[in-house]
Structure 1
Amino acid sequence: MRDMSKKRSVLPRRKSLFAALLLTAGLFSPSVHASEKLKIGYNNWVGSAGVFVAQEKGFFKQAGLDVEFVPFKGPSDAIPPLVAGHIDVALTTADNVVLVNARSGSDLKIIFATDTSNGADAVVSKKNLTSLADLKGKTVAVTQNEVNELLLLKGMEKAGMKPGDIKSVNMDPDSAGAAFIAGQVDAAVTWEPWISQAVAGGGKVVFSSAQVPNLILDVVTVSPATIKNKSRAIAAFLAAVDKGTAYVRSNPDEALPLVAKRLEVKPDEVKGMLVGVRLYDMAGNARLLHDKVAAQTLDNISAFYSSHKTIPKTLKGSDMVDGSFIPAH
């Protein structure tokens, strides 16, 4: 995993927004002002390790924030409450931003990427099914109209298959993993720790997110109203997350048990799961957001969903990215 924890002084290259936000958030000083409240919607995903460590180590509190975490089962479940204004921030996936903006006319913005899946999402099959092509006519558990189905469809497209070539059963990733291990389906699109458990039980990974870089991008998403009304708190939140990510890299012996506590697994399992993701810090986000990498990912997702009639129109990726909280590199 690349080490991107080195700090860089880049404030003079931005106009005044980022510097002003940091100054008003009290991030250049240990002193804090009255705590600001943020409600964060999340699901248990190893790529949020920096967020979990920031909470467990008190980095949010140090930044003058009172952060309330609202749990959801999957990355899409936090989107409706975000649109309705019941939460301030959603830790979700880029594809969900495309889906809601295209379908409802919402204008959600991606302001940060926590990580990208690099093998931690995959299609697992019975050991006698050695490729995606072998899944023709087979029963596959997958979360329909979400990121896991997108991964499956991308893999099938590469294998020259059509969506109708399989029998799709709608299940969330955890249920899909459990159903596969129980022998109820021929294959499943799931995530860690179910992938490791499936392989340990004799299953085989026939396609994974490592084969489609940045397709499954985990992001911090907010509404324009939150950007306008809580910019200081958002800047403080992202700085604390960046600090948490750096801590994961520099102090793994202490950080991994903290993440394991949140995921309800063993620290060694977290270590293994982190191999399947690439964590992004501020420097990584500068490349993603300012060099248009995230926008291109969104363009690809939008075009793909549009071609499959999943969304009524194609959206422009750059319209869904707000890099104002990220210093230039």
Structure 2
Amino acid sequence: MAFTLYSASKKAASTAGALAIATTLWAMPSTAVAQDEIDCIFPFWFGFAPVFVAQEEGYFESEDLVVKTSFDNDRANVLPAMSNGSIDCTMRTIGETMSRPRTADTTGTVIGTIDISVGADGVVAAGDVQSVEDLVGKTLAGEINHPGTTLVQHALSEIGKSIKDVNIQLIATDDSAAVFEDESVSAVATWEPMMSSIVRSSSREGAHLLLTSADYEGLITDVIIVRTEDLEENPDKYAKFLRGIYRAIDLYKTDPDRFIEISAPFFDTPAAEMKASLEGVKYTSYEESQSYLPGADGEGKLKEVFDAFNKINIALDLQDGPLEYQPFVDGSLLDGLFDDVER
């Protein structure tokens, strides 16, 4: 597997919004009085909008919970902050969560799911690449831990190949549109809205979607991770957090336009753009999250995804070895989460 580096100017309009507010700290007014507080940092991604909706709709306030948030895409900042107790919570894909520098002793427990990519992540390829097998010996540009790259590794493993059979050109995902104009690059790992934009606007004839998260629903799942030590001491605080998120997701299921109207300003994004991007996202309801995490009925659907990423991440050199599913993934808070509590 060959690695090269490539850089280009940033193209995505959504990135400008992310950079503009990446350091913004947002919370309830300081006059509010609450019993519990959670500091949560997560990437600039529409899938995490339920947190903002829960705050604006008063779901957290009704639980006497203050939630402070900020955007940070870099796990290298987030993991140390969680380890030293500066933050309590983060959210990202299960595959990223499992990757280095996490070890079996690293703090952080998965307590719920929040969304599943069902087409929002993928790979755009040139016209001469009509199957994943066609990528063998050619160049794929992307970040090594990007969902699109992990999808390629998973798909190659199904035909007895691996990412080692592909030349990887390391780039920033934000540069994928510009990089794809280079005809030496056969495919790029990217996400919406850039993914569709590249297919529509590329000067390269035959540009198309080679692979998306819709082909492997559930593989790219965003999870809620909290500081293990604080979870053990204050489980009720995180139950409040989960209830707020799942009530917000209920609103999306019944009135998506209102949900988007509330949350789009926090991403400095037009509602129409956010709505289009969310077409490739499936928010997981409380009941769906229960089906993914361990419970009385078994290990949950996330176990299969977890096992897949133990293999994917090792193949991509993102893990030193397999991780144990439990207690890293803990569904106990979901049991009876809404018993005798308003939903």
| Fold shared per TM-score above 0.5 | yes
Counterpart of 2:215?
A: 211
Counterpart of 2:110?
A: 110
Aligned-partner SS, 1:220: strand
Q: Deviations over 1:93-142 (max 9, x none)?
A: 11133224854631521101001111111011234433333334433222
Aligned-partner SS, 1:38: strand
TM-score for the superposition, normalised by structure 1 = 0.80
Q: Deviations over 1:237-283 (max 9, x none)?
A: 11111111111122222212233323333322322222212211211
Q: Structure 2, unaligned stretches of length 5 or more?
A: 1-31, 338-343
How far off is 1:156 after superposition?
2.7
Go from structure 1 to structure 2 and tell me whether the alpha carbon gap of 1:306 and 1:257 turns closer, same or farther (over 3 Å shift): same
1:299 to 293, 304, 307: 307
The whole-number CA distance in structure 1 between the counterparts of 2:308 and 2:190 is: 22
The whole-number CA distance in structure 2 between the counterparts of 1:204 and 1:240 is: 39
Give the number of equivalent residue pairs.
Answer: 298
Map residues 34-183 of structure 1 onto 2, 5 A cutoff.
34-73=34-73, 78-100=78-100, 103=103, 105-177=105-177, 179-180=179-180
How far off is 1:306 after superposition?
3.7
Conserved 8 A contact 1:113-1:219: yes
Q: CA RMSD in A?
A: 2.8
Counterpart of 1:319?
A: 327
The whole-number CA distance in structure 2 between the counterparts of 1:122 and 1:165 is: 19
2:266 to 245, 262, 278: 262
Conserved 8 A contact 1:296-1:317: no
Q: Does 1:247 align with 2:255?
A: no
How far off is 1:52 after superposition?
2.9
Conserved 8 A contact 1:174-1:191: no
1:275 to 272, 279, 284: 279
Amino acid at match of 2:227: S
The whole-number CA distance in structure 1 between the counterparts of 2:76 and 2:256 is: 29
How far off is 1:79 after superposition?
3.0
How far off is 1:284 after superposition?
0.8
How far off is 1:160 after superposition?
4.8
Identity %: 25
Counterpart of 1:5?
A: none
TM-score for the superposition, normalised by structure 2 = 0.77
The whole-number CA distance in structure 2 between the counterparts of 1:169 and 1:319 is: 36
Q: Structure 1, unaligned stretches of length 5 or more?
A: 1-31
Conserved 8 A contact 2:60-2:244: yes
